[in-house]
């Protein structure tokens, strides 16, 4: 199982005003146990601004954006330093990946981030992701790490997103004001009734609150990934959740990841197209097979790698739509050629398929 774990500031501080070192060790032990059981873990962490506060001595509250960016720029490297030290106790290497909203919007950057993430996981390195606060001003920020973790879950095509926080989960009412409130163990759909339970922001140290957690749950479950919001102080929370134990609130996925991906492909605007020969058109139309460069005889660009393109049959009719692994300029060079020649022609390869069958929707 591939799991994205999001740690909020309130979890990392364990109720104090500083990064709580023993808590970090506990969390890393949990991550290490889950990995040892054969699972992949991607970590999304907050705490950069807090670590900057620790270093410089002024709190982030009521600061200008520039001052907060300073805090995060100072804090991010200290945060990573701590993670690296703690991970070393368990023999783990860590990698830092800093993302902004633009990295999710821009297709090439998205694919590049995904490649780096995959390389980390293949090598057994623990990727640790945060928003690149130092360069992200309000228009280009994701804004909070709950939402960021949902984007990362999509990027990583995760099987589970675990958001650990300082609350036991989603309650029927705010437990601070309603002592009779009870925990909701399962949310089948994020409906307006669920949104109504969100209340305001949580603790003052992080950005989140239940609102951003429900937002994250909505984004991830819509793309086919279930989400659990669980208490960060529960021992071995990640190991237990990955093992299927009920803890916190579980938001059920909305259809499969593949279905979500196909819905998304159909919703894209596709100005570019490729024209297929008879054999390739039949293979795609009848069997939903991948499209190889050999089956393409004409490329109508321009389009980038990762863009949606229309796959046209010999009569010009659209047989399918899919995400291309090559930009139009490269595809034009390898069209009609055998996949084994791709590397010789281009000097590199993004794989044998022009459009992989998982990225293809038949019409
Ligand atoms: N990126 C921020 C930090 O590392 C946290 C944002 C959030 O808590 O949602 O401090």
Q: What is the pLDDT of residues 62-111, one digit of tens each?
A: 888 888 899 999 999 999 999 999 999 999 999 999 999 888 877 778 88
Among 262, 281, 307, the domain boundary falls at 262
Q: Say if CB 217 and CB 187 are below 8 A apart.
A: yes
Q: Does 9 contact ligand 1 (Cβ within 6 A)?
A: yes
Expressed in angstroms and rounded, the spacing between residue 133 Cα and the centre of ligand 1 is: 8
- Nearest ligand 1 atom to the CA of 51 is 10
User: Measured between alpha carbons, how far is 198 from 188 in angstroms, rounded to an integer?
Assistant: 16
Q: Does 76 contact ligand 1 (Cβ within 6 A)?
A: no
User: Measured between alpha carbons, how far is 280 from 66 in angstroms, rounded to an integer?
Assistant: 55
Verify that 216 and 314 share a domain, yes or no: no
Residue from 340, 355, 273 nearest 311 by CA: 273
Using a CB cutoff of 8 Å and minimum separation of 24, what contacts does 277-286 make? Answer: 277/314, 278/313, 278/314, 281/311, 281/313, 281/314, 281/319, 284/311, 284/319, 284/320, 284/360, 284/362, 285/313, 285/319, 285/320, 285/362
- Nearest ligand 1 atom to the CA of 133 is 1
Mean pLDDT of the chain: 91
Q: Does 207 contact ligand 1 (Cβ within 6 A)?
A: yes
Q: Say if CB 110 and CB 103 are below 8 A apart.
A: yes
Q: pLDDT tens for residues 200-243?
A: 544 433 445 788 999 999 999 988 999 999 999 999 999 999 99
Nearest CA to ligand 1 atom 5: 46
Q: β-strands 318-323, 308-312: how paired?
A: antiparallel
Q: Say if CB 219 and CB 161 are below 8 A apart.
A: no
Q: Say if CB 18 and CB 45 are below 8 A apart.
A: no
Q: pLDDT tens for residues 18-62?
A: 999 999 999 999 999 999 999 999 999 999 999 999 999 988 888
Residue 189 sits in a domain whose CATH number is 3.40.1160.10
Verify that 255 and 274 share a domain, yes or no: no
Expressed in angstroms and rounded, the spacing between residue 44 Cα and the centre of ligand 1 is: 10
> Alpha helix (H) ranges present in 232-326?
237-242, 257-267, 278-287
Residues 6+ apart with CB under 8 A from 323: 265, 306, 307, 308, 309, 355, 356, 359, 360
Verify that 243 and 298 share a domain, yes or no: no
Greater model confidence, 143 or 328: 328
Expressed in angstroms and rounded, the spacing between residue 52 Cα and the centre of ligand 1 is: 11
pLDDT of residue 208: 53
- Nearest ligand 1 atom to the CA of 148 is 9
Q: Which of 61, 80, 206 to mutate to test the pocket of ligand 1 (most atoms within 8 A of CB)?
A: 206
Verify that 212 and 321 share a domain, yes or no: no
Verify that 198 and 284 share a domain, yes or no: no
Q: 219-232 burial by CB neighbour count: b if 16+ within 10 A, else e?
A: bbbbbbbbbbbbeb
pLDDT of residue 267: 75
Verify that 79 and 209 share a domain, yes or no: yes
Among 240, 262, 284, the domain boundary falls at 262
Expressed in angstroms and rounded, the spacing between residue 46 Cα and the centre of ligand 1 is: 4
pLDDT of residue 289: 93
- Residues comprising the binding site for ATP? 6, 165-166, 207-213
Domain total for the chain?
Answer: 2
Verify that 338 and 210 share a domain, yes or no: no
Verify that 57 and 192 share a domain, yes or no: yes
- Nearest ligand 1 atom to the CA of 52 is 10
Residues 6+ apart with CB under 8 A from 244: none
Verify that 189 and 289 share a domain, yes or no: no
Verify that 235 and 334 share a domain, yes or no: no
Q: pLDDT tens for residues 113-162?
A: 988 999 999 999 999 999 998 887 766 678 889 999 999 999 999 999 99
Among 199, 228, 262, the domain boundary falls at 262
Residue 308 sits in a domain whose CATH number is 2.30.130.10
Verify that 348 and 328 share a domain, yes or no: yes
Instruction: Give the residue numbers spanning the domain of 51.
Output: 2-262
Q: Which of 97, 99, 145, 212 to mutate to test the pocket of ligand 1 (most atoms within 8 A of CB)?
A: 145
- Nearest ligand 1 atom to the CA of 212 is 9
Verify that 86 and 216 share a domain, yes or no: yes
Q: Does 206 contact ligand 1 (Cβ within 6 A)?
A: yes
Structure-token pair, residue 33: 């146990």
């Amino acid at each position: 199982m591939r799991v994205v774990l999001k740690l909020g500031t309130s979890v990392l501080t364990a109720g104090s005003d500083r990064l709580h070192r023993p808590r970090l060790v506990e969390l890393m032990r949990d991550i290490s146990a889950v990995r040892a059981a054969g699972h992949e873990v991607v970590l999304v962490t907050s705490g950069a601004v807090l670590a900057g506060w620790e270093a410089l001595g002024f709190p982030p509250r009521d600061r200008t954006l520039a001052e907060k960016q300073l805090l995060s720029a100072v804090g991010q490297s200290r945060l990573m330093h701590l993670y690296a030290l703690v991970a070393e106790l368990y023999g783990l290497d860590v990698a830092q990946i800093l993302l902004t909203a633009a990295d999710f919007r821009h297709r090439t950057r998205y694919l590049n981030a995904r490649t780096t993430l995959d390389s980390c996981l293949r090598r057994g390195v623990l990727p640790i992701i945060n928003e690149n606060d130092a360069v992200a001003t309000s228009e280009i920020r994701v804004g909070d790490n709950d939402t960021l973790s949902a984007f990362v879950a999509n990027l990583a095509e995760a099987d589970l997103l675990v958001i650990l926080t300082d609350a036991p989960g989603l309650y029927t009412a705010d437990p601070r004001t309603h002592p009779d409130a009870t925990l909701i163990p399962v949310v089948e759909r994020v409906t307006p009734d669920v949104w109504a339970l969100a209340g305001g922001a949580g603790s003052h140290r992080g950005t989140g609150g239940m609102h951003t957690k429900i937002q994250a749950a909505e984004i991830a479950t819509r793309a086919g990934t279930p989400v659990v919001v669980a208490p960060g102080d529960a021992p071995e929370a990640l190991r237990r959740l990955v093992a299927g134990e009920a803890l916190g609130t579980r938001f059920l996925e909305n259809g499969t990841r593949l279905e979500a991906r196909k819905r998304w492909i159909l919703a894209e605007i596709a100005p570019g197209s490729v024209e297929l020969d008879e054999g390739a058109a039949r293979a795609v139309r009848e069997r939903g097979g991948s499209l190889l460069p050999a089956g393409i005889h004409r490329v109508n660009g321009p389009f980038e790698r990762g863009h949606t393109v229309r796959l046209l049959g010999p009569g010009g009719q659209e047989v399918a739509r899919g995400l291309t692994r090559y930009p139009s300029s490269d595809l034009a060079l390898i069209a009609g050629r055998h996949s084994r020649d791709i590397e010789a022609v281009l000097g590199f390869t993004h794989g044998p398929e022009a459009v992989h069958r998982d990225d293809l929707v038949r019409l």
